[in-house]
Chain A
């Protein structure tokens, strides 16, 4: 703990060598009595402490990180350094257009690139993350129905395998979320869908390829059914990496989409954000896009705000969303170009299908063995759990000992004992081969010395943590030396 190194009176004098100015004009009763209880450490102590903390993390830069549905691919360093040029870092969000043309040009071109690669009619960059993009998308669906006086639509349909954000976003927009089942083959159960569609259907939220790692083959039919019922289709862009430059959500019949730029466009995940979740729409939803947006009037770039776009669902953050993340995505898009975007889908699919095949040969069960993998796939360790008493969590924890971040575990919820594995296109064949060897080794360990796996990890800074205690005896902030 940084607080344990704190000593009263130690100060950051390299940062603030000036005297503390008096505050005679602020009434005493509005001032605090004591400085806030922050750590009092030297700059070097802070640097050493946080450097050491960083070393307790797995990351893409240090480890294979096949976390399904998160697209943990290499984050090119150029994206960071070019988005961090002094001119970009010092631009005030409310700077006038005369001092913003360079930045706005990047934003406008990014809007255009995203529009074309997704086949949508228009794009707004402002949502700060995927979930905020979902909120914006569903809010636009609602604005569309409301504008038509169609207020009987109260339900958003979501597959049972959907990300938890989908139903949560629907509820934040005042809708009820209704689940539809996934069929045996991994596609949506069409009969079940037909049964629940009706005048109460506002829309459906789908991920394609879906969260079970396969392409929804009857997507056109689904789009037809939903549209016939008067509902709209929402595309969750979590798995866009699988189809970038191959198939476009707009061509599949989606009315509104969000993209996770921290996945598909390789901006950093930052230990849990910041992300960026731009939204794209078909023509009929265009008036409702969130503001601000950037337009080009023939000579200059200009902001479109509430003033110019009176039907907008509004503003979702004070300024223009996670601008610095958008700049990184823009740099990535320019580095890749159109041919690079095709390759994203090609090589992420190649890696996933190769890894799946090798793991199946090694005796692991695929959840959907008859299906082609997309950029990710699901293994089910049902057999191992039943026969050896070693479950998916144990496998995941043991992987950490072998220097691999575990894939996503126990998601989607409908596949028992599952691992969702997404190797991404930036991993080399030999890294995938190593992963197969690690999985084989753990399987062998599970057969011969299951306790070793069940007690894992053994080499991390801590062993398995007591989550129940964390929730029961809440300790959420440092309260001083015990």
Chain B
């Protein structure tokens, strides 16, 4: 019996001890009419060897296309040590550290994680993770509505330059509490938040302004100005950042005169593989004054009976298992294992190592964009400075171009035409530190062929008499 150690003898002894004559008798409190049958629709069990064959086939089936796609999930190198350590049974098969004395490993690691995230973002405190970047923003929005005592409206300003999936997720999660997301347009030249659209809301009651850095287009926002504008108008500033970008960019805690109030984002670039979108982890940091509004686990350093330093879950009165319907969130299980990987990743890379990776990604993306813009009618529509991702406009429908590239086993980028039809045939491209010059050249030559095949008119193929 897979994973069940009982021998026939064990079973008999145990049944005798209980005083029943069969295992089935243990279910005698369940009304008979509720008992289900054999579940024939579910396949029969398979030995590990066969499941292994099945899964290897499935994994191979998806190929491993050359990835120039980012849009919220990035193909980075992860040091081998990261997952070898993370999958040690002592990390992999422990649970939430309720028994602190028997969980100091996880607890100390989480404290170290919180320390690293505050260093990266320039914020005062960090929690121990949320599900992913998008749901972390939803929690940040709920936090801002609770934390901004001056605002009564439950409205949040959200730029269209924020990831469209983040906008959708946030809406799904906060709308039942009557919170409204009001969108602000972007400047069609720079690709940044349009300051005149923003100015129209000056003096109105909003709990917070969301500031993405870099924004979904890869363009860098003028974060100092946006943060100051939010504060001048009685709003909290919620930063949504790429943690790798934070290694080279001004940290959210230093934006403007007094810094962002809440900083959240997707932790995936810190040691999580692409893996179909998860598990990743959302991070959430804030100013100390907002710490009691934070959702999720927080680890604090303290001392034991002998005065020796130790670590424990703290401020639990915010949480659902203590506060129930008055909790700051319903979150219980978070993304502990991903945070374990991220902590080890950040420790191995160090602040300067991350800067090198970030700068290499940026340089590669610049190289890619320049190379592709050398092709006829490929252009970069925005003038704003970028980090490691860029919008390009193609001379053919983005869908068609990307489909044709995929047929050549190249993931050419993200199709912007559904979410931003006004940009016409635009795609969002990314080349991380993993992409070589040869791979960039492969992309160029494939795209060249795709463009040639699509835009050539039949008459050009006619022989020249």
Q: Does B248 contact A (CB under 8 A)?
A: yes
Query: How far is it, in angstroms, between the C-alpha of A243 and the C-alpha of B17 when the chains are bound?
Result: 22
Choose the segment among A131-139, A227-235, A442-450 that binds chain B (4+ C-beta atoms closer than 8 Å): A131-139
Asked if A38 and B324 make an inter-chain contact with CB atoms under 8 angstroms apart, the answer reads no
Asked if A99 and B172 make an inter-chain contact with CB atoms under 8 angstroms apart, the answer reads no
10 residue pairs of the A-B complex, CB under 8 angstroms, read A12-B349, A46-B344, A60-B93, A93-B278, A116-B41, A171-B326, A315-B172, A336-B45, A425-B4, A471-B300
B20 and chain A: residue at smallest CB distance: A353
Choose the segment among B29-37, B446-454, B457-465 that binds chain A (4+ C-beta atoms closer than 8 Å): B29-37
Asked if B5 and A427 make an inter-chain contact with CB atoms under 8 angstroms apart, the answer reads yes
A60 and chain B: residue at smallest CB distance: B93
B220 and chain A: residue at smallest CB distance: A30
Choose the segment among A76-84, A192-200, A278-286, A383-391 that binds chain B (4+ C-beta atoms closer than 8 Å): A76-84
Asked if B353 and A15 make an inter-chain contact with CB atoms under 8 angstroms apart, the answer reads yes
Asked if A50 and B69 make an inter-chain contact with CB atoms under 8 angstroms apart, the answer reads no
Q: Does A121 contact B (CB under 8 A)?
A: no
Asked if B4 and A16 make an inter-chain contact with CB atoms under 8 angstroms apart, the answer reads no
Since A349-B27, A464-B305, A465-B311 are in contact, a sample of 20 more A-B pairs with Cβ atoms closer than 8 Å, ordered by chain A residue number, is A38-B116, A58-B94, A65-B95, A80-B92, A90-B274, A103-B276, A128-B131, A168-B323, A171-B327, A272-B335, A316-B173, A317-B135, A318-B277, A336-B3, A338-B38, A406-B99, A429-B14, A461-B310, A462-B104, A463-B305
Given contacts A102-B59, A469-B303, contact A40 B351 (CB under 8 A): yes
CB-defined interface of B265-277 with A at 8 Å, one 1/0 digit per residue?
Answer: 0100000011111
Instruction: Return chain B residues, CB-CB under 8 Å to A372.
Output: 26-29
Given contacts A80-B92, A471-B314, A476-B126, contact A90 B135 (CB under 8 A): no
CB-defined interface of A417-434 with B at 8 Å, one 1/0 digit per residue?
Answer: 000000001111100000
Asked if B314 and A273 make an inter-chain contact with CB atoms under 8 angstroms apart, the answer reads no
Q: Which chain A residues numbered 157 to 214 have a C-beta less than 8 Å away from chain B?
A: 163-165, 167-174, 176-177, 214
Instruction: Return chain B residues, CB-CB under 8 Å to A357.
Output: 17-19
Tell me the minimal C-beta distance from A379 to chain B in angstroms: 16
CB-defined interface of A5-45 with B at 8 Å, one 1/0 digit per residue?
Answer: 00000111011101111110111011110111111110100
Asked if B330 and A477 make an inter-chain contact with CB atoms under 8 angstroms apart, the answer reads no
Tell me the minimal C-beta distance from A381 to chain B in angstroms: 16
Asked if A59 and B277 make an inter-chain contact with CB atoms under 8 angstroms apart, the answer reads no
Instruction: Return chain A residues, CB-CB under 8 Å to B348.
Output: 12, 15, 41, 43, 46
Asked if B330 and A317 make an inter-chain contact with CB atoms under 8 angstroms apart, the answer reads no
Tell me the minimal C-beta distance from A33 to chain B in angstroms: 8
Choose the segment among B74-82, B182-190, B195-203, B227-235 that binds chain A (4+ C-beta atoms closer than 8 Å): B74-82
Instruction: Return chain A residues, CB-CB under 8 Å to B362.
Output: 21, 23, 26
CB-defined interface of A115-139 with B at 8 Å, one 1/0 digit per residue?
Answer: 0110100000000111110110001
Q: Which of A80, A274, A339, A354 contacts B335 (CB 8 A)?
A: A274
Asked if B277 and A172 make an inter-chain contact with CB atoms under 8 angstroms apart, the answer reads no
Q: Looking at chain B, what size class is its interface with the partner chain? A: 35 or more
Query: How far is it, in angstroms, between the C-alpha of A437 and the C-alpha of B90 when the chains are bound?
Result: 25
Asked if A102 and B43 make an inter-chain contact with CB atoms under 8 angstroms apart, the answer reads no
Tell me the minimal C-beta distance from A354 to chain B in angstroms: 4
Instruction: Return chain A residues, CB-CB under 8 Å to B334.
Output: 129, 272-274
Q: Which of A26, A80, A245 contacts B87 (CB 8 A)?
A: A80
Q: Which of B24, B75, B79, B131 contacts A92 (CB 8 A)?
A: B75
Q: Does B96 contact A (CB under 8 A)?
A: yes
Asked if B77 and A338 make an inter-chain contact with CB atoms under 8 angstroms apart, the answer reads no
Q: Which of B64, B92, B129, B362 has the most CB of A within 10 A?
A: B92
Q: Does B56 contact A (CB under 8 A)?
A: yes
Q: Which of A86, A164, A470, A471 has the most CB of B within 10 A?
A: A470
Given contacts A70-B95, A92-B411, A462-B308, contact A78 B52 (CB under 8 A): yes
Instruction: Return chain A residues, CB-CB under 8 Å to B51.
Output: 78, 82, 331, 334-335
Instruction: Return chain A residues, CB-CB under 8 Å to B17.
Output: 354, 357-358
Asked if A16 and B105 make an inter-chain contact with CB atoms under 8 angstroms apart, the answer reads no
Instruction: Return chain A residues, CB-CB under 8 Å to B79.
Output: 12, 14-15, 43
Q: Which chain B residues numbered 207 to 231 have a C-beta less than 8 Å away from chain A?
A: 220, 223-224
Q: Which chain A residues numbered 448 to 479 have a C-beta less than 8 Å away from chain B?
A: 455, 457, 460-467, 469-471, 473-478
Asked if B332 and A425 make an inter-chain contact with CB atoms under 8 angstroms apart, the answer reads no
Asked if A354 and B18 make an inter-chain contact with CB atoms under 8 angstroms apart, the answer reads yes
Tally chain A residues at the interface, Cβ within 8 Å.
Answer: 200
Choose the segment among B143-151, B160-168, B437-445 that binds chain A (4+ C-beta atoms closer than 8 Å): B160-168
Asked if A36 and B337 make an inter-chain contact with CB atoms under 8 angstroms apart, the answer reads no
Q: Which chain B residues numbered 45 to 90 have a C-beta less than 8 Å away from chain A?
A: 45-48, 51-52, 54-65, 67, 69, 71-73, 75, 77, 79, 81, 83, 85, 87-90
Query: How far is it, in angstroms, between the C-alpha of A29 and the C-alpha of B223 when the chains are bound?
Result: 10
Nearest 6 Cβ contacts at the A-B interface: A319-B277, A337-B45, A61-B89, A314-B172, A270-B337, A93-B277
Tell me the minimal C-beta distance from B222 to chain A in angstroms: 8
Asked if A476 and B321 make an inter-chain contact with CB atoms under 8 angstroms apart, the answer reads no
Given contacts A74-B3, A165-B320, A315-B172, contact A272 B97 (CB under 8 A): yes
Q: Which of B34, B57, B173, B347 contacts A50 (CB 8 A)?
A: B347
Asked if A20 and B359 make an inter-chain contact with CB atoms under 8 angstroms apart, the answer reads yes
Instruction: Return chain A residues, CB-CB under 8 Å to B62.
Output: 87-88, 91, 95, 99-103
Asked if A55 and B18 make an inter-chain contact with CB atoms under 8 angstroms apart, the answer reads no
Given contacts A170-B325, A429-B14, A474-B291, contact A94 B278 (CB under 8 A): no
Asked if B69 and A41 make an inter-chain contact with CB atoms under 8 angstroms apart, the answer reads no
Instruction: Return chain B residues, CB-CB under 8 Å to A139.
Output: 172, 176
Given contacts A20-B359, A171-B325, A269-B93, contact A30 B350 (CB under 8 A): no
B117 and chain A: residue at smallest CB distance: A477
